[in-house]
Structure 1
């Protein structure tokens, strides 16, 4: 009894002594701290709640169907989901550290040997046994490892949500761009039709001797200049359809359209204060859980300096052909493993864990700052595109009027064909610029919904 008490006191004294050698965990660097601004730098009017299936606000059922198909079949989302399942399995495996390990074994042998009298005998021996071992988590090292695995699982799920949001945004952007290309192609074909009519007039006037061949060649040049732009847009359409097919988990093929580009509605700018952003963005949530995982691993590295207490028990039976009766056996024991000298290995692991924690802290800071910047960028684009569209629409009205006057003057012989050509070029350029501007506005709204966290969960 005294020996047992002495060993207990000695173990406690050893643990207390080693505790004085345990390094303290430093705080994260002050420079990694980040605070949300009180308001956005770019002022905007209106606003909508950035929740739910925001892609439905564009008013195109085909867009909605493509987004849902992509969220269901996209390979990147499937990979992200498999990573979540892997992380959760590792978390379940780590929880076994808090439970005892139970094993059973049945060693057996059969052999022939000589006795002391020189007689050959054959013996059969079996020794079934049951073993149990358990580590007392006195200082929380195993619990810290479990916390790290749990945080990793949550970070993996946040990464999956970020992938879902990214695929959703890419699909919506791809479909809007596809409709914009359709509209661009329609304008070019209508322009080509008008160029063809102008070419017929120029050819008839040249054949009749009313004009020189210069006007005919100018009309031919304008016709072919417009004609060569159509294959370029058709190629872009095919590539855009192929990209959307990949996003939706299909082989390259045609993409159905739900309506024309002009029929797409413009969703309202999502209303969100900066302080709400960190809880909505899945990439920020992922960085936060990654930081929590490094904190837990750092605690586990610190606990490596403290003793480990192991308990073990064995019970079994010896069965042999040379024994008259079977023999039962059992044992109960324990051990205390205390680090004394490891050549700097434990300190090196601890310092590495500190550095990993600091890296995760700066990664979290970077994710937050990047999120604020992305929201501000899209708000700046959207608020200025309104003014740009107003100016471009005014330019379009002026150019269209100029073309009408130039056409009338040319038909009655008051001006050369060059005036009409210049007006036609200007109108085509403005029409294509308007299509691109409206496409930029819609894609900026999509990017803004992605920047504020959207609705990542499928």
Structure 2
């Protein structure tokens, strides 16, 4: 009878295995396949250098990016999160190892016996205890795998943050040089309009022109003058933003090359099929999905029995004993869930839903990556055509200004025609600066969208 009971206990885990729910596959709608080619065909050359920001040809830009990658506060927080996740992984690994503990309780006291005599006694029982859970159904192994995948996801998130900070620093520096270029253009325009104002004043004092033209010239001068403080304030704000990115107090940012000297890098030769392995945010989504898969297996294992072994050894020491007495015990237990009021099923369903969310999150990350690359390729391609049209417009506006100036000096047209031509030329020159800024920052965004220098 005892043998049959023991065999029944041994068969209990196998019988309860059939009660565990089956794990459903990932939603088929969450799968995504990369396209064969990009929509926008541009000449491509080489791979992405790990220090891609050096391709813009400005040593100061490169130094700022390196400084940001080293000192940025957000990246320091991300690194601390990686350390925390790795520590949690170490904690989970302990589930596969036995636990050892030692205790040494002792008492000393004085009492009175029935004869009214004092009696002092001392007792102690030092004990070593060991316990181990046999991971028959992989619950602990699944928890360890989940912790490992979560740590990898956090590390990938740090890589994504590093890439984002690098791109923000490069774009911020380019924007700063563009603001300098705008300020220089406005200063030059102010000087030329100051000269026009001087001429108009001299002509008005000599009676060669009316006060209307003098006031028009003065109005144009003041209109240009008031734009310079706004640009200078924008420059200060941009310097402060860059200082924050590099982990420093607000201060003036040293410049390297001029804005016109920045060189757009080549479009790297990266295929759509390579993008999935290059992007750290996609890696993060993939590791997150792996962690939810492991958590789902662990939730299923909760339906199955847990087998624990325990042992202890020690000694009983007492003043009432002539010699210490060795004590020991060896035992085991099987804990099988029979009724949990739906708690285990609810946890399993929640883990399944979390796995499905992570699967669709992975699909979203991949689709977003393809869209971001396609966006920047399209922008770079169309900016070239836009610049061609804008340069042609500038040539026409500059020629119109020349004719308007000559006609005004010859007395064939009012001063207002020259003013309109000056305004148009300034607007085109500012648009050219903005277009070149957009082109350079588009290359930064493209390199970020391609995953930077991280890759297989």
Same fold by TM-score, threshold 0.5 exceeded? Answer: yes
Match of 1:163 in 2: 161
1:8, distance to aligned residue in structure 2 (A): 4.2
Aligned residue pairs, count:
455
Q: Are the equivalent residues in 2 in contact too, given 1:162–1:456 (CA < 8 A)?
A: no
RMSD: 1.3
Give the TM-score, by structure 2 length. 0.98
Moved more, 107-116 or 67-76: 107-116
Q: Distance in 1 between matches of 2:28 and 2:448?
A: 30
Match of 2:342 in 1: 344
Segments of structure 2 that go 5 or more residues without pairing to the other structure are none
Q: Which of these residues, 312, 316, 319, is aligned with residue 321 of structure 1? A: 319
Match of 1:455 in 2: 453
1:348, distance to aligned residue in structure 2 (A): 0.8
Q: Distance in 2 between matches of 1:392 and 1:425?
A: 15
Segments of structure 1 that go 5 or more residues without pairing to the other structure are none
Question: Is 2:355 aligned against 1:357?
Answer: yes
Q: Which of these residues, 30, 36, 39, is aligned with residue 37 of structure 2? A: 39
Q: Distance in 1 between matches of 2:368 and 2:117?
A: 86
Instruction: Spell out, residue by residue over 1:48-90, the C-alpha distance to the aligned partner (whole angstroms, 9 max, x if none).
Output: 4123211111000000000000000001111111111110111
Match of 2:236 in 1: 238
SS in 1 for 2:331: strand
Give the TM-score, by structure 1 length. 0.97
Match of 1:205 in 2: 203
Question: Is 2:175 aligned against 1:177?
Answer: yes
Q: Distance in 2 between matches of 1:370 and 1:421?
A: 47
1:456, distance to aligned residue in structure 2 (A): 4.9
Instruction: Spell out, residue by residue over 1:180-221, the C-alpha distance to the aligned partner (whole angstroms, 9 max, x if none).
Output: 000000000000000000000000001111111110010001
Q: Distance in 2 between matches of 1:11 and 1:421?
A: 99
1:405, distance to aligned residue in structure 2 (A): 1.8
Q: Distance in 2 between matches of 1:49 and 1:397?
A: 38
Q: Distance in 2 between matches of 1:280 and 1:118?
A: 87
Q: Which of these residues, 224, 229, 245, is aligned with residue 226 of structure 1? A: 224
Match of 1:96 in 2: 94
Match of 1:109 in 2: 107
Match of 1:64 in 2: 62
Match of 1:426 in 2: 424
Q: Are the equivalent residues in 2 in contact too, given 1:378–1:447 (CA < 8 A)?
A: yes
Instruction: Spell out, residue by residue over 1:334-363, the C-alpha distance to the aligned partner (whole angstroms, 9 max, x if none).
Output: 111111111111111111100110110111
1:7, distance to aligned residue in structure 2 (A): 4.8
Instruction: Spell out, residue by residue over 1:289-337, the C-alpha distance to the aligned partner (whole angstroms, 9 max, x if none).
Output: 0000000000001011111111011111111122211111010111111
Match of 2:267 in 1: 269
Question: Is 2:8 aligned against 1:10?
Answer: yes
Question: Is 2:77 aligned against 1:51?
Answer: no
Instruction: Spell out, residue by residue over 1:10-55, the C-alpha distance to the aligned partner (whole angstroms, 9 max, x if none).
Output: 2232112101101000011111111111111222223341232111
Question: Is 2:403 aligned against 1:414?
Answer: no
Q: Distance in 2 between matches of 1:259 and 1:20?
A: 71
Q: Distance in 2 between matches of 1:315 and 1:193?
A: 95
Q: Are the equivalent residues in 2 in contact too, given 1:164–1:456 (CA < 8 A)?
A: no
Alpha-carbon spacing, 1:48–1:426, altered in 2? closer, same or farther (3 Å): farther
Match of 1:287 in 2: 285
Alpha-carbon spacing, 1:7–1:334, altered in 2? closer, same or farther (3 Å): farther
Q: Distance in 2 between matches of 1:249 and 1:434?
A: 32
Q: Distance in 1 between matches of 2:411 and 2:32?
A: 71
SS in 2 for 1:110: strand
Instruction: Spell out, residue by residue over 1:164-195, the C-alpha distance to the aligned partner (whole angstroms, 9 max, x if none).
Output: 00000000000000000000000000000000
SS in 2 for 1:270: coil
Q: Distance in 1 between matches of 2:77 and 2:453?
A: 20
SS in 1 for 2:314: strand
Q: Distance in 1 between matches of 2:454 and 2:255?
A: 25
Q: Distance in 2 between matches of 1:367 and 1:112?
A: 74
Q: Are the equivalent residues in 1 in contact too, given 2:278–2:454 (CA < 8 A)?
A: no
Q: Distance in 2 between matches of 1:34 and 1:9?
A: 50
1:402, distance to aligned residue in structure 2 (A): 1.4
1:388, distance to aligned residue in structure 2 (A): 0.2
1:120, distance to aligned residue in structure 2 (A): 3.1
